[in-house]
Amino acid sequence: MKKIALTFAVLPLLISCSSGNSSSSNTTPLINISSVTVGKMAGDTQASQFSTVIKFTNGNNKLSNWQFGFYMPRSFDTVVTTQQSVNPDLLMQICIENSTSCANLKYQTTSSITSQDLSAGYTTVLAPEGSFILESGVNYVVNLLHNNQWNAGNYSAVPQNFFITSGSQVSNIPTTTTTYQLLDYDATAVNIQINQHINTIWANSNSFIESVNLIPSPVTYVAGTGSYTLQSGLAIHNELNTDNTVANFYRDDLAKDLGISATVDNQPNVTSGIVIKQLSDTTLIANNPEGYQIAIGNGVIYVYALNNTGVLYALQSLRQLWNQNSTLAAATITDYPRFKYRGVLLDTARHFFSVAEIKVLIDLALAHKINTLHMHFADDEGTRIGLAAYPSIKSVADVRGYPNSITALMFIQGNLDITNFNDLTYPQYNTTYTGTYSLNDLAELVSYANKRGITIIPEIDTPGHARSLIKAFPDELVDPNDKSDFISVQGYTDDVLPVCTYNSTTSVGPKFTTLFDNIFNQAATIFNNQSTLYAINNEISVGGDEVSSGAWTNDSSCSGQWANLSALGKSQLFFQMFAAKNPNLKISGWQQYIQTDETALGQNVVPAAQAGHVWIWNTSTGGIPQAKVLAESGYPVVLDYADETYFDLAYNPAITEPGFTWATGFSDTQAALMSAVSATQTVNQIAPAYQQNILGLEGTLWAENLATYEHMIYMALPKMAGLAEAGWSPATITDINNQVNWQSLSIRLGCGQTGFLAYLNKLFAVHYRGYPNGIALEVPSSSCPKN
């Protein structure tokens, strides 16, 4: 295993780096941080306020021209307008400890987006107002008081990866978990809360127990008489068609899993081996094109389906069974999905994942009978689609870390991350972090996914979340008429496109329009002609979420039809105009590209006929009424309810559990399974004629905290099993009187030696959360007793 998480370059340091650690260090660090205290302190009178106190010693020569910084997923900027009030009471000072010698600290920004970044987003750079020399051997206190961006509850949320700069030199400052004190964190109370949660959801499970150990649960399983033993010399006969792609998967998987040598042919009318046939009675699978039937008998296994996709899903069930025992009990399995869309979003903008790593995620998705990979390619922190016509995407938009144009962003600290099993060195402030998917990479991913029945949907987030593109194309994407003062949820003050100039001669309008249209059309074309059942040609997601309410409020380009619209209204009108100008595109996005922050449709929106998918990221409470309005307006809706299927959120409130907690304190496997109940409640709210517009469910792997492949797997597994059960298995199993079949799913996931999680580890060598003890961390101890 490589000891470096990514290939990176580092500028000259004031101190030397020692390999294998998550922070650069030296025997005599330039700065030694003795404590970091975060929590409610005197003067934090609002619920959202907290303070941070950092104590350090200057262990080297005095510094007279310095800047001090860190990463924390909170903004330390101050923006107070009629639309927003971010940190109005924030007070930042540095003092000599136990002294009245202090200086105010100023949040450092650049005057132009074309300049090399200082502070940006969640990366904070501070400097003293006036002269304040850091003397050698002196103890200092940094007070960051009354921030109103909500308190930190775990190590993902604390200030970390500290650094100090002097001129062009950088020193990274190490901390450990023992450095931190979270004033409002009570470990005993949290442990009690976690145990109560585990016991409560176990007790509230429905009583369904699956008669066969498969995930997701099939529609029906009827035991027969006899058995069939798989052994070398087995023949796989594909009578369905002459495309043996999936039949070859059967052969290859038998060899990998059991060491069995099998052959593939297209002989008709065979009654031995594995026989793949056309299903004649489609009502058995509710006319569902992804359905299948397996009949295991003495001497033969029949696989019935309508197409290769059904045959592929039958393989996933058989593969689970033969990995339990190469002698299969006689039975008939009839199966088809509850929802046509069962997806996972992977954010490659915040952190980059290699083609090989994404292929493993695709394999895992197939094993769970998930059929869509929603790829988030562009955000404030990076743009990963390498379009040959636009080399500045690769040279600017996908490169970050001091002293590049885009500073270090989302750079979590390796020794605070419990998923860092291999002690990788994570990126620091002066790490150059980069990663782009070439056209060949993307073609390879599409081919790999399509052979496994998985559609890839590309997403480039706009008109907010667009800072990396703006950095790469300032001449086209910066409107000099826009003097608006705003801040995004992630702390950016310059991440919106000049929407009011689109398709006009105003300001940068012509250049912006050409660039935007070209990027989106070229990106959509890359993913055209996919061979999966539900692929939509020319589909691309524009994102459309989280535009700051203060955007374009002081922009003279926003006259005429733009003048009286809110920021969200301007964003939606822009998408409507883009759709009208590009009728060849199917335009997808998050609910805010169509809908107000409540439930109503916007005044000017992309028409339903031109929408590919609308994903809802709200919590289930707010999302259900939004889904109702969208579905009854004809939009194709996918439910990504944040309190249930935001996989990047923390499993529980423990200080060591990675992930944010803004939507729920328990983003665990049972929460993902609960999306089955929320889906039922959503559908039941909708008039019958429009219920089919609820296409399905999706789990998200937003990558603010997912610094590595290992971290991504930890957050995905075992949550993906809850999503798979909710999206595929019938509601008669997963939702009985608003209770999910959590006990049944847990039993099938297993306690480590056997079960679905052991199966995934065997096949894909994945280090799921709780490895090697299966689902033990999420169930009562009596359900998975320790050996």
pLDDT digits (tens, 9 = 90+) for 732-761: 999 999 999 999 999 999 999 999 999 999
User: What pLDDT score was predicted for residue 211?
Assistant: 87
Write out the two tokens for 591: 């609910």
626 assigned to some structural domain? no
In this prediction, residue 29 carries a pLDDT of 56
For the cut 90, the answer to whether the pLDDT of residue 20 exceeds it is no
**How many whole angstroms separate alpha carbon 453 and alpha carbon 165?**
50
Q: What is the pLDDT of residue 302?
A: 99
CA distance 426 to 737: 46
Residue 275 has pLDDT above 90, yes or no: yes
Distance of CA 341 to the CA centre of its chain: 17
Q: At what angle do helices 756-764 and 355-367 cross, to 10 degrees?
A: 150
**Mean pLDDT in residue range 395-399:** 97
DSSP strand pairing (300-305 vs 273-278): parallel
**C-alpha to C-alpha distance for 54 and 36, rounded to whole angstroms:** 5
Q: What pLDDT score was predicted for residue 11?
A: 34
Range 169-179 average pLDDT: 96
pLDDT digits (tens, 9 = 90+) for 333-382: 999 999 999 999 999 999 999 999 999 999 999 999 999 999 999 999 99
Indicate the average pLDDT of the chain: 96
Count of CB atoms within 10 A of residue 595's CB? 25
Residue keyed to tokens 């792609």:
245
**Per-residue b or e along 379-403, where b marks 16 or more CB atoms closer than 10 Å to that residue's CB:** bbbbbbbbbeebeebbebbbbbbbe
CB 327 within 8 A of CB 228: yes
Q: Residue 15 has what pLDDT?
A: 30
b (16+ CB within 10 A) / e for 109-143: eeeebeeebbbbbbbbbbbbeeebebeeebbbbbb
- What pLDDT band is residue 785 in, cutting at 50, 70 and 90? confident
Helix (H), strand (E) at residue 376: strand 372-379
* Residue 235 identity (one-letter amino acid): A
- In CATH, what number is assigned to the domain containing residue 244? 3.30.379.10
The predicted structure's pLDDT at residue 60: 85
pLDDT exceeds cutoff 90 at 2: no
Q: Domain range spanning residue 298?
A: 220-335
Candidate from 5-9, 492-496, 578-582, 672-676 with smallest mean pLDDT:
5-9
Q: How confident is the model at residue 26 (pLDDT cuts 50, 70, 90)?
A: very low
User: What are the residues whose beta carbons fall under 8 Å from the beta carbon of 178, sequence distance 6 or more?
Assistant: none
Q: In 3D, which of 526, 240, 8 has the Cα closest to residue 250?
A: 240
> CA 374 to CA 166: how far, in whole Å?
42
For residue 673, what are the contacts with CB-CB under 8 A and spacing of at least 6? 722, 723, 725, 726, 734, 740, 741, 742, 745
pLDDT at 25 over 50: no
Q: Looking at the domain assignment, is residue 445 inside a domain?
A: no
Among residues 661, 616, 662, 614, the alpha carbon closest in space to that of 634 is found at 614
- What one-letter code names the amino acid at 518? N
236 belongs to a structural domain: yes
Instruction: Let me know if residue 663 belongs to a domain.
Output: no
3 state DSSP class of 723:
helix
Catalytic residue among 239, 357, 444, 546: 546
Task: Give the tens place of pLDDT for each residue, 136-162.
Answer: 999 999 999 999 999 999 999 999 999
Rounded to whole angstroms, what are the CA distances from 707 to 9, 185, 363, 412, 417?
A: 17, 25, 21, 7, 9
CA atoms within 13 A on the CB side of 678: 31
546 is catalytic: yes
Contacts of 223 (CB under 8 A, 6+ apart): 211, 329, 330, 331
Round to whole Å and give the CA distance between 580 and 570: 15
State the Cα–Cα distance between residues 215 and 388, nearest whole angstrom: 42
Q: Element (H or E) spanning 102, and its range?
A: strand 102-107
Q: pLDDT tens-digit profile of 284-295?
A: 999 999 999 999
CA proximity to 124, closest of 104, 103, 108? 108
In a domain, 293, yes or no: yes
Alpha helices in 543-587 (DSSP H): 567-581
Cβ neighbours of residue 264 under 8 Å, at least 6 residues apart? 235, 236, 238, 244, 247, 248, 250, 251
Q: What is the pLDDT of residue 168?
A: 86
Structure tokens of 327? 């002698």
pLDDT value of residue 1: 36
User: Does residue 508 form part of some domain?
Assistant: no
Q: How many angstroms from the chain centroid is the CA of residue 606?
A: 25
**Predicted pLDDT of residue 210:** 85
Q: What is the DSSP letter of 114?
A: T
The answer as to whether 417 is a domain residue is no
The domain tally of the chain equals 1
What CA–CA distance (Å, rounded) separates 734 from 680?
A: 10
Return the percentage of the chain with pLDDT > 90, whole number. 94
Q: How many CA atoms lie within 13 A of 95 on its CB side?
A: 13
Q: What is residue 348's predicted lDDT score, i.e. its pLDDT? A: 99
Contact 424, 4 (CB under 8 A): yes
Q: Which residues are paired to 331 by β-bridges?
A: 223, 296
Residue 470 has pLDDT above 70, yes or no: yes
Section 151-180 average pLDDT: 97
Residue among 222, 228, 383, 247 nearest 303 (CA)? 247
Can you tell me the distance from the alpha carbon of 469 to that of 379, in angstroms, rounded to the nearest whole number? 8
Strands 300-305 and 292-297: antiparallel
- Residues with Cβ within 8 Å of 639's Cβ and at least 6 positions away in sequence, in order, are 615, 616, 623, 627, 645, 675, 678, 679, 682, 694, 696, 697, 698
Closest CA relative to residue 406, chosen from 479, 474, 471: 471
- pLDDT 10s digits, 546-605: 999 999 999 999 999 999 999 999 999 999 999 999 999 999 999 999 999 999 999 999
Q: How many CA atoms lie within 13 A of 598 on its CB side?
A: 2
